[in-house]
Every structure is written in C-alpha cells, then in structure tokens.
Amino acid sequence: MKSYVILISGRGSNMRSLLEANLPGRCVAVISNRPDAAGLVFAAARGIPTVVVDHKAFENREAFDAALLEAIESHQPDLLILAGFMRLLTEAFVRRFEGRILNIHPSLLPAFPGLHTHKAALTAGVPVHGCTVHWVTPSLDAGPIILQASVPVHADDTEDTLAARVLEQEHLLYPKVVRKLLEG
C-alpha cells in the first residue's frame, strides 16, 4: 500500500476532502508550517500523526526546507501532497521529490499563477475559471498539468462566490487525481 504525506498551512479543507475519500493508500502524516493550522486538529482526530515545522523559527528558506525535508523523510512517503501549503519551496527541496509532489491551484493554469487568482479572473473578465492539479516543479505553478475542473464565471460573482464554487471543484478533483496516482 502506497503512503503519502499532506502539507497544509491553514484550515485544511482539501486535506479533509482527501482524508474523507477513503483513498487506496495511507496518510502517514500531516505537516504544517503553522502551529495554529486548523487542519491539524482534524487530522489528529482521525489518528493521523501531525507535525509542525514552523517557518518562523528558521532564519531562511533553506533552513526551513531542510527541517521540513527531515520531517517528511522520517515518514518515507511515496507521494507528497500540497493542500493549501502556502510556502514557496526551494529548488533543491522540489528536486528531492520530483515526480512525487503535487499541488492543487485555484485557477486554470497556466492562467493566473500565484496568489489572488479569483480577483485576477474577475478583473480579466474570463467566462470560465477553475482549478488545476499539477506536478510541482521549481517554477511556481508551472509544472505539468494532471487534470483541471472548470466553473462558469457569473456577471454577479464576487471573489468569495467564485472562490466557493472553485473550492467545491477542488474537493472533487484532488481526491480523484490522488486516487489514480495511488492506484498506479
């Protein structure tokens, strides 16, 4: 049975959708860069080991990544899943997990990489928006696309209403992709 580690920074709604999907693998840890991440409580309640590697405790990104790498490798996962993990990772870190690290992004990449994607979509006036599961590479949100899901953009949408519809799709898409990867 393949194993995976999930990295989070906040409430962990995508992590929760993965854990509730009864995937054909084993989540061996949930790791957060923030000690107050609400998702840690949910994971711990499910009996999943949780670890905090607080990025604020480190002098630079390289030191943080080294500590994060150590925490992850102690669990020897087959797959590393970023689920709302809001830290840029160094090239050396990403290369260590190349071909085994994936992310979900709230836009139809390559459109709107980075932050504030819903605002960017509304400003651009696009008729559709959505989410993308992709392999992580050293370039931000530029890795090979695995699968996407789209939603219509309505004339009366706000950032919040659009974000809510996209998030619904994220919760369906991410478990679907992870399931296929764990099944081989």
Sketch out the chain's domains with CATH numbers: 3-183 (3.40.50.170)
Taking a C-beta distance cutoff of 8 angstroms, is the pair 10, 83 a contact? no
pLDDT above 90 (res 142): yes
Of 107, 83, 84, 109, the C-alpha closest to 162 is 107
Range 114-123, long-range pairs (CB < 8 A, 24+ positions): 114/140, 114/141, 118/159, 118/162, 118/163, 118/166, 119/159, 121/153, 121/162, 122/153, 122/157, 122/158, 122/159, 122/162
pLDDT for the residue 162:
98
Q: What is the pLDDT of residues 68-92, one digit of tens each?
A: 999 999 999 999 999 999 999 999 9
Whether pLDDT at 63 is above 90: yes
Instruction: Give catalytic residues, as residue numbers.
Output: 105
Give pLDDT, residue 170. 98
Query: What's the pLDDT tens digit per position in 101-127?
Result: 999 999 999 999 999 999 999 999 999
The reported pLDDT for the residue numbered 80 is 98
Task: Find the mean pLDDT for residues 147-167.
Answer: 98
Instruction: Name residues whose C-beta falls within 8 Å of residue 69's C-beta, 6 or more positions apart in sequence.
Output: 93, 96
Is 184 a residue whose pLDDT tops 90? no
- The dihedral over CA atoms of 149, 114, 55, 174, expressed in degrees to the nearest 10, equals 10
DSSP state for residue 81 in the 8-state scheme? E
Instruction: Give the residue carrying structure tokens 């309505």.
Output: 154
- Residue from 147, 168, 154 nearest 126 by CA: 154
The confidence score (pLDDT) of residue 117 equals 98
